[in-house]
Chains A and B, each alone.
Chain A
Amino acid sequence: MDWPSLTQLRFLAVGGFPYGTLGGLTMNLIIVALALVAGFVIGLLLGLGRLSERFLICRPCAAYVELIRATPLVMVLFWFYFLIPNVLGARIGLFWTSTIAMTVYVSAYLAEVVRAGMLALPTGQPEAAYSIGLTHVQVLLYVTLPQALKMMIPAFVSTFISLFKESPALLMIGVAELMDTGYSIATLHLKLIPATFLIVGATFFVICFALSRVSLRLERKLNPDRRAVPLDPELQLDMVAGAGGGARRVGAGTR
């Protein structure tokens, strides 16, 4: 089996970085990380908004979340890809286009994570806080949100994994991410097909596998009694890992 040269390996890792545009694995990680951070802010607002009792706040948030969750990532990418330069006339480059699209996409999923986390809190917590005379904002900032956020940490890691696994879709709008660089190498040097696919696949596997173990460990550490964060099965991202982990532990106890 022929193996890629060092230059080609560097191309997989950072694209043409020092001389050309950034790409490869670094591109995936940077875009996913930026989208997750920005998406967290939007998702937090959306998730809290969806829990609001005011019709005018709750319904638009719910509509946004449901709309994005019923749309493939590719469509969101295309939409922003065509909207920003053609319709709005702004030139911001592929990197920012894809970061914005990924942010919009992931914020809907993070909103669901936030909502599930808030709903998982025992109702006694806000009740106790209200009864000692705290205001709405104080209850949220000092009582419910800190507890809920702590329990949501494993779900954030899972969301990172899922978004990372969906990030190869970026190649559809021409971002030179890991899968795309691997594909270019493989099509230019047909002998390198097996090795390139092996390296790209192994990279994805190692990162996702390691992070999923981290997520599982965090979940065990943060919620030892497993009462917390019953992840909404509709979250469909990687939430099965949460449900499966629970079932596995139940099985281990009774077998």
Chain B
Amino acid sequence: MGTMIREWLGISYEFNWGIMFQEPYFDWFLTGLKYTLLLTAVTTVTSIVLGVVVGVMRSSENAWLRRVAGWYIETFRNIPGMFWLFFFYFAFPVFLPEPWSQALNPYRHFAFVAAVLGLTFDNSSYVAEIVRAGIQGLAVGQTEAGRSIGLTDWQRYRYVILPQAIRIVVPPLGTRCIHNLKNTSLALVIGVPELTWTVRQVESITFRGFEMTTLVTAVYVALCLTMAAGVNWMEGRFARRDELKLAQ
């Protein structure tokens, strides 16, 4: 069957789809999967934390906080994620004092740390914009009401603004996190052994890059669709909870 299709299409390439399940390639694949998941998990958490802080700063009443957050957002949003990966891996240590960068040299996991830094800063600027849009999308009356019953700034954010903003923010934030998952595929350029690295590794040893790419793409699609389903589920949960509250 496969041969027939190949002859019909005039393809002389012999496919070998089993390549992924041979040793040691399957091990490499598992390593890649592990690093992709780890990188996604870590950067999602860090970039949401950082993004919420910057987003709250961006919508604060202090003009300087707003301005600094604005610079932060514009800087990281208008320069590609790939640049930040290279920056934190190659250029950042140059700016450190000599003894520090010397001490960093033998550190084995620096590529991973640089990838986390690069992806976090890149993604957090988008998260900050989403959070800011969510907060400013609320009616100003919410802030005023919170203030008029004597809440402190912290209480106002914790009990009035953020619980409401989170409902507006969940769908775009989820999409952003999916995008972040896809962005982890760039970490190969600074030597993090994630899924894309597996492809390159298998290609350089066995010339089976096409099969490996197809299989890894399927894994990425599966991961993205799972994450999208998770976001949908969260959205539904928030909506249901709101309905229950309204019913009571």
Interface residues of A, Cβ cutoff 8 Å to B: 67, 69-75, 78-79, 81-83, 86-89, 165-169, 171-172, 179, 182-183, 186-187, 193-194, 197, 200-201, 204-205, 208-209, 212, 233-236, 239-241, 243-244, 246-248, 250-251, 254-255
Contacts and interface: CB of A to CB of B under 8 A. Distances in A.
B11 to A, nearest CB: 6
B221 A67 contact: yes
A192 to B, nearest CB: 10
Contacts of B79: 165, 201, 204-205, 208
A194 B94 CA distance: 8
A182 B13 CA distance: 36
B116 interface: no
A244 B134 CA distance: 8
A218 to B, nearest CB: 17
Chain B binding surface SS class: helix
A200 B78 CA distance: 12
B163 to A, nearest CB: 18
B213 interface: yes
Contacts of A201: 79, 83, 87
A233 B140 CA distance: 23
Q: Which 7 pairs show the lowest CB-CB distances between chains A and B?
A: A168-B82, A82-B210, A70-B224, A208-B78, A72-B182, A72-B185, A251-B136
Contacts of A74: 185-186, 188, 196
Contacts of B156: none
Nearest to A245: B133
A240 B126 contact: yes
B137 A236 contact: no
